[in-house]
Amino acid sequence: MGTGSLSRPAVLFGFAGWLVVAASCGHPTPLESPLGLRALTPPPSSDGSCRFDLTGDKADTVFFVLGMLDEYNGRNLIEDDDRVERFYCNESGASRLFRRYIGTLAAEQGLDSAVRDETIETCLIVYHSTPIASRLNSCYRYTMTDQILAQAPDGTYRRTANPSLRASGLFARVGGAGSGSTDEANRRRALAYLAGAWARYRRDGDFVFANAHDKAALVAALLTDLGCRNLRIESTIGFIPQTNRVRFEATDEVMAWLRKDSTDQSVGDISLSLRTEHGRALFRDCRLDINVIDNRGRTSLECTYSSESPKVLRTERTLTRTEISDVSALAGASDLCSGGHVGRDETALDGELETLMTRCRDNRVAVLVTSGNPTFSSNDARRRLLERMHALDAELLKSALPPK
């Protein structure tokens, strides 16, 4: 059994030992305790002082990494453990991004950059580094106890703790932009933390956490302080694991930070294709394309007339810098590659079937049905992206149609 795996006998033994101690009003000797001689040493603890250089951009890296950390029932800390973080099989993109960031963190903080990568059962990724783990854990407030013990590879038992960053006091209430150097520093901490959490825990345009109520509450508090609207937390009470979904409408500032690093959606070069099939209309179908390459963008519209001898209407133009910036930000924040792809085909009722295709990382493609898709109304970024594309569609169509 590797370091960090909980041992049921150890848990039961520790609980039974606590009962015996309470009943006898005595203390077990080191030989009687599963901790052995460790029982004589002070329990490891931290005051949450976060022993990093938090000046300038260095703080951005630290808080981005803290945002990516898992807090399933709290951060799982084990005495003398060198584990930095672990990632599940479906988190390959997030694990690579995290590995890059902890490498940057080590370089900026003057730490030993050696990180041991461990792969379990072909796809579970665990990163190990004593100096990096120690510094990250110093950002949490905790005192390890023997209430739950973990067994090390050498068979000895270790004390554990499960703290959350919410109780650390690292985040003061953030002020508005330009409200002072202290508030600006706190604001950047919050933005960087949210960006890190978003890179790992975004689902359909929301933050989604499993059994991590404190992390969800912290994210919600930071979003509120930063001016995001229509914020609410939805929890699946009674289910295992409990899911906490944080819904919100992002400000432009928050949206810009959330798209700083994306583990899936292709950011920078963008390819979007909005296709509309009509039931009964002037056109059988239309396709609006938006392509951004090396910060240069073009949009084009192609529509096929509904006639026995169909004709095709085509038009295109260059995107302005503002349009490129806006579409890039909205596409990144919409997280189109993560899911939320189901909608409705209403062509049988003289309605429309509208689909949006985009390119993702690793040469993958995502196709989302936007017609009748609730994520394009509940998710602010997706709603605004679709509105922007509809506006471009209408503008191009108007310029291409012959005057009446």
Query: What is the tens place of the pLDDT at every residue in 83-108?
Result: 999 998 888 888 888 998 999 899 99
pLDDT at 195 over 50: yes
What pLDDT, on the 0 to 100 scale, is given for residue 322?
81
70 and 214 together in one domain: no
Q: How confident is the model at residue 182 (pLDDT cuts 50, 70, 90)?
A: low
309 and 390 together in one domain: yes
pLDDT at 217 over 50: yes
Q: Nearest Cα to 207, choosing from 228, 233, 227?
A: 233
294 and 254 together in one domain: no
Q: How confident is the model at residue 360 (pLDDT cuts 50, 70, 90)?
A: confident
Would 365 be classed as within a structural domain? yes
The Cβ of residue 27 has, within 10 Å, a number of other Cβ atoms equal to 9
Say what percent of the chain tops pLDDT 90. Answer: 52
What pLDDT, on the 0 to 100 scale, is given for residue 404?
67
pLDDT at 4 over 70: no
What pLDDT, on the 0 to 100 scale, is given for residue 177?
43
207 and 161 together in one domain: no
Query: Residue 79: enclosing H or E segment and its boundaries?
Result: none
Mapped onto helix, strand or coil, the DSSP state of residue 392 is: helix
The Cβ of residue 52 has, within 10 Å, a number of other Cβ atoms equal to 21
Q: What is the pTM of this model?
A: 0.62
User: How far is 211 from 200, CA to CA, in rounded Å?
Assistant: 15
Would 53 be classed as within a structural domain? yes
Would 298 be classed as within a structural domain? yes
205 and 70 together in one domain: no
112 and 41 together in one domain: yes
Of 232, 258, 284, which residue constitutes the final position of a domain? 258
pLDDT at 261 over 90: no
pLDDT digits (tens, 9 = 90+) for 318-345: 998 888 877 877 887 777 887 888 999 8
Would 2 be classed as within a structural domain? no
pLDDT at 77 over 90: yes
CA dihedral 216, 220, 223, 227 (to 10 degrees): 170
Q: Which residue has the higher pLDDT, 41 or 322?
A: 41
- In this structure, the strands spanning 157-161 and 77-78 are antiparallel
344 and 394 together in one domain: yes
User: How far is 212 from 13, CA to CA, in rounded Å?
Assistant: 27
194 and 313 together in one domain: no
Q: How confident is the model at residue 268 (pLDDT cuts 50, 70, 90)?
A: low
pLDDT at 2 over 50: no
Q: Nearest Cα to 57, choosing from 144, 185, 216, 233?
A: 185
Residue 312 identity (one-letter amino acid):
V
Would 175 be classed as within a structural domain? no
Would 264 be classed as within a structural domain? no
Q: 352 lies in which domain range? A: 270-400
Of 167, 196, 215, which residue constitutes the final position of a domain? 167
The mean pLDDT value for 235-255 works out to 88
Q: Nearest Cα to 78, choosing from 128, 18, 36, 15?
A: 128
Q: What's the number of CA atoms in the CB half-sphere (13 Å) around residue 205?
A: 25
What is the CATH classification number for the domain harbouring 238? 3.10.28
25 and 162 together in one domain: yes
32 and 149 together in one domain: yes
Would 174 be classed as within a structural domain? no
What is the CATH classification number for the domain harbouring 317? 3.30.1560
124 and 188 together in one domain: no
With a CB cutoff of 8 Å and minimum separation 6, the contacts of 153 are 1, 2, 3
Of 112, 141, 167, which residue constitutes the final position of a domain? 167
Provide the β-strand partners of residue 86: 126
12 and 95 together in one domain: yes
What pLDDT, on the 0 to 100 scale, is given for residue 123?
82
Say what percent of the chain tops pLDDT 70. Answer: 85
Looking at the structure of the chain, the number of domains it has is: 3
Would 238 be classed as within a structural domain? yes
